[in-house]
A and B are shown apart, each in its own frame.
Chain A
Amino acid sequence: MKFGVLLNSAIAALLAVPIIGYLLGPLRSKGYTSWVLLGPLTQFPEGQTRLASFRNPFVRPWDGQTADIACWVRRLSGEDFQVFAVNCAHLGCPVRWFAQSGLFMCPCHGGVYYADGSRASGPPERGLFEYSHKVENGNLIIQAGQLPTLATQARLMSGRRSSCAG
């Protein structure tokens, strides 16, 4: 009896290893970021902020249109860009750009951001999430791949300005 319980517990523990491993599948130590082409510079007039979209670099065939991700591209001048996630830093709703007042407004809980993405008012505790970006051969390229939240934005922020210079 005791032996039987022990034997079955051991087998259950052995089986749990692959099952837990399977369930933890979505975690990747190297994270989910990759360089994505956003479009030629000519698409983004200087001094304007425009909505752009890209196909997420990590997709499954059954993702459909959910893998089309939008972002706000602000071209200050020349190759000086800022690329913001549409997701509000509060709870991820899509913020909208109002060129007339130079503000991003969130429809959910009323978060507002200035043109440079910094927090203006409302519940967000920080500014908009920004994607790292670079310009190559006349194209704007950003580093993207995962839904930005307070916990998953760290990699989006890394080396924003330095990558711009390089």
Chain B
Amino acid sequence: MRWLKAVGDWFDQRLQLSAPVREAMLHRVPSRSASWWYVFGSAALTLFILQIVTGILLAVVYVPSAAQAWTSLEALNHDLPLGWFLRAMHGWGSNFMVALVLIHMMQVFLFGAYKYPRELTWIVGVFLLLMTLGMAFSGQVLRFDQDAYWGLGIGASITGRVPVIGGALVHLLLGGPIIGGDTLLRFFTLHVFLIPGLLIALVGLHLLMVLKLGINDWPMPGRVVRRATYLKEYEELTRKDGVPFVPDAIWKDMVFAAGIVVAVACCALFFGPFGPTGQPDPTIIQTVPKPDYFFLWLYALLALLPPQMETPALLLMPPLLIAFLILLPFLSGEGEKSWRRRPMAVAVMALAAVALSTFTHLSRYSPWSPVMNAWSGDPLPAEVLQGRSALERQGALVFQAKQCRNCHQIGGSGGLRGPDLDRVAVRLTRDQLIRQVLQGGGNMPAYGKNLRPAEVTALVSFLETLRPPGQPPARDASRPGAAKAELAPSPGHP
């Protein structure tokens, strides 16, 4: 042991590091801040280190070439021993890291930790969040499969909406005229050199500020932050009611971080790696591209925004949102920290959480997308065909063959883009059905040019039978004669 100490002393004499390290370890934190609520940041850092390690190991095999990236991922998945596990660790690590960074941010926001004097720590944190999202997106691109290819197309299409310089920006984003080898290399450079380098630097800065300024004190209702007195109050608090960071606080960080790493490993083991899905061949158009989990909300937003609002929303919302986050500590740098006395903060947080989870949930089954193979894959339920006339059955055939099913459900299967038609005859009269089929409207294309009159007659006859037994069909009150004819029992409903 004595020689170990001698070696240590030799190094310390030259490095002069032991004093600052000891100071950092033993610095006093408010005893209530040594809490299970204050473990998310350090867990995110642990995952970042895990991502660096697994990322370097993957880079040993990955080929950043449009022609071979996909094949090299397949080799990792299937040929190299445990290659699949490393890919799975990196993929799940990414998901967990985004989640933890978000949770960390929510906690910091609700605990008022961004207030004086920690404004800059928060701002650096905002950039760390943006870079984490940048890593998640560029990582998805590096998994150079169909989803990545068309995801890049979506990115290029959004970029192309920038006024005046949109075209130039698209070519700069893609590194050329099309999504290809140069595009992949751009994102490779971002994912492997540029963003990680910045992340390491900013994480260091973020940590340094936490050490220098001290961890946020536990928010107490009524304990108000004032620039003039805060520093003195904080110093008094840590002196009177403080505990050394090591070991009183750090053991919780270590236990939680260990649990998170085990959770990542378990997910990797049980669920395996993400993709790659089909190969990035743009001539294979039988694909339904979807973004990764953390961008699903954007996918929903792009489907649900009114078309004329899309471009302004896409181009203005992100800068406004980022500006709001950066300005937040200047807008409310003083005052109450406790969420019990900050109803607006809680409301904003709840709204953001509800909106994000609703959009994400909707994206899981994307009701706005036509089901491209419903017309050929989903049979009509027998009930809607039993006891129907020849004309009505002919109409059912038209309904399937003309891909109506891709957007309309019958009997619980089919697309959700349009309304489900199980009870359409209760809602629409014969004339309204004909008009809707021929002219379209709402989200429906007009079929006037694509259906012969005989097909329209058959289709509408079939649609008129779609109502629950015992419910009368819709009728046109302005036309008593027509209404009487419609009220007569149809052959379909004996």
Contacts and interface: CB of A to CB of B under 8 A. Distances in A.
Nearest to A98: B403
Q: Which among A23, A51, A66, A107 has the highest number of chain B CB atoms within 10 Å?
A: A66
A127 interface: no
Nearest to B161: A150
Q: Which among A58, A64, A98, A112 has the highest number of chain B CB atoms within 10 Å?
A: A64
Contacts of A115: 449-450
B283 A66 contact: no
B35 interface: no
Given A64-B66, A66-B181, A103-B450, A147 B156 contact: yes
A123 B178 contact: no
Interface in A11-42: 23-24, 26-28, 32
Contacts of A53: 283
B440 A121 contact: yes
Nearest to B165: A151
Given A92-B150, A120-B445, A107 B403 contact: no
A92 B157 CA distance: 6
Contacts of A61: 67
Interface in A94-112: 94-96, 98, 100-103, 105-110, 112
Nearest to B447: A101
Contacts of A96: 285-286, 372
Contacts of B149: 66
Interface stretch (B167-175, B378-386, B480-488): B167-175
Interface stretch (A1-9, A67-75, A135-143, A158-166): A67-75
B160 interface: yes
Contacts of B401: 100
Interface string A35-57: 00000000000000001010010
Given A96-B372, A103-B445, A123-B307, A66 B177 contact: no
A67 B169 CA distance: 20
Given A60-B182, A120-B445, A121-B440, A87 B153 contact: yes
B66 A152 contact: no
B282 A90 contact: no
Contact of B369 (A26, A32, A108, A149): A108
A106 to B, nearest CB: 8
Contacts of A147: 153, 156, 170, 174, 177-179
Nearest to B440: A121
Interface in B127-180: 149-150, 153-154, 156-162, 166-172, 174-180
A110 B157 contact: no
Contact of A68 (B65, B177, B283): B283
B370 A105 contact: yes
Interface in B427-450: 440, 442-447, 449-450
Contacts of B169: 151
Nearest to B372: A107
Contacts of B160: 149-152
Contact of A121 (B154, B168, B372, B444): B444
Nearest to A64: B67
Q: Which among B281, B286, B375, B446 has the highest number of chain A CB atoms within 10 Å?
A: B281
Nearest to B64: A62
A81 to B, nearest CB: 19
Given A26-B171, A149-B159, A65 B67 contact: yes
Given A66-B282, A147-B177, 10 more contacts: A62-B67, A63-B67, A65-B281, A66-B66, A68-B281, A93-B154, A98-B403, A107-B287, A109-B368, A110-B368
9 contacts: A26-B175, A27-B172, A32-B176, A64-B181, A90-B157, A94-B282, A100-B375, A108-B150, A114-B445
Kindly list the 10 A-B residue pairs having the minimum CB-CB distance in the complex, ordered from nearest: A64-B67, A149-B160, A151-B166, A120-B445, A32-B177, A92-B153, A146-B177, A151-B160, A94-B285, A151-B167
